[in-house]
Amino acid sequence: MANENESTVETKNLPGQSHYVSETDETGLGAVDAVADDRAPSSMWGEAWKYLRKRPLFWVAAAIILFAIMLAAFPSLFTSVDPKFCELKNSYGKPSMGHPFGFDRQGCDIMARTVYGARASVIVGILTTVVVVLIGGTFGTLAGFFGGWLDSFLSRITDIVFAVPFLLAAIVVMQMFRENRTIFTVVLVLAVFGWPQIARITRGAVMQTKNEEFVNAAKALGESKIRIILRHIVPNAIAPMIVYATVALGTFIVSEATLSFLGVGLPSDVVSWGGDISRAQSALRQNPSVLFYPAGALALTVLSFIMMGDVVRDALDPKARK
């Protein structure tokens, strides 16, 4: 009789052939199927970061955005030339040592104006986005959570403002501030007409979140409505707001450039990309580089925010990846 530990058993049915039997596996099914459950479950933000850090598009957009913020915050690190120092003898001068982009019609250094122009455009975009998120987020949260007459009232206000053409309204209102136009004036005007979209997005996200089980559990425990909104509703409904805010920031930068291009935005003594593009349009044929640098910086910055918004949307909303 063959030993049980032998792995080879001769078969009588087929002479000259061997039947191979694997050794007995002593590992039980429980050990094979066991899953370590001592780790804390990953949060939405943790899963989003795992997705983002593997996306080259995220790193490219983040690098460009960081560079634009550095230009706005520390322009003297990139150029030592005063952007407002102009000499007519350098009008449309060619690139030279210390002036790699050349000069514009007034003899101003194009590189210095491009670098310092980032400050006004980026500041307007960031401040407008913050104000828009606060106004639209508050309106949308209150309307979505409480519902009833408050929802109807806030929704009608949102519809009225939303029906007004955004850029046209900003142009008309900015005409009222011809003598006193500053960065904060532009931010205020853009924010007044730019919040309805995020209010709608926030309202829908809050209405979906407030029916979740953890919200009902918080209500059963006797938590106040303000605490439920701040602790449970907003953190779980903020994802679509972040996605929209990222894309809207680029949109507000373009809006500021458009207003400055039309002469109703920032005053002429403030260096901005929109103002430089407006002044460069007369030299488009004979010296297109005067227009290329501020327009290229504006386009690249806005594109980076749009790319960031797309990749953040995919990270926070797995269904959007399909």
**DSSP states along 94-156:** PPBTTBTT-B-TTSBBHHHHHHHHHHHHHHHHHHHHHHHHHHHHHHHHHHHHH-HHHHHHHHH
C-alpha separations of 186 from 173, 267, 301 in Å? 10, 10, 19
pTM over 0.85: no
What local confidence, expressed as pLDDT, does residue 105 receive?
82
In this structure, the dihedral spanned by the alpha carbons of residues 94, 100, 105 and 107, taken in order and rounded to 10 degrees, is -100
Read off the amino acid at residue 106.
Answer: Q
pLDDT at 36 over 60: no
pLDDT single digits (tens) 200-222: 999 999 998 888 888 888 888 88
Question: Helices 110-146 & 196-209, crossing angle to 10 degrees?
Answer: 40
Structure tokens at 295: 């327009």
Question: In this predicted model, which residue has the larger pLDDT, 23 or 315?
Answer: 315
Query: DSSP assignment, residue 230?
Result: I
pLDDT at 6 over 60: no
pLDDT single digits (tens) 290-308: 888 899 999 999 999 999 9
pLDDT, mean over the chain: 83
How far apart are alpha carbons 173 and 184 in whole angstroms?
14
How far apart are alpha carbons 207 and 237 in whole angstroms?
9
What local confidence, expressed as pLDDT, does residue 318 receive?
62
Q: Are 263 and 136 in contact (CB under 8 A)?
A: no
Strand partners, 20: 8
Q: Is 19 in a helix, a strand, or coil?
A: strand
What local confidence, expressed as pLDDT, does residue 270 receive?
86
Structure tokens at 52: 């983002």
Rg (CA), the chain: 30
Q: Are 195 and 135 in contact (CB under 8 A)?
A: yes
Structure tokens at 153: 């009232």
Hey, what domains does the chain have and what are their CATH numbers? 121-316 (1.10.3720.10)
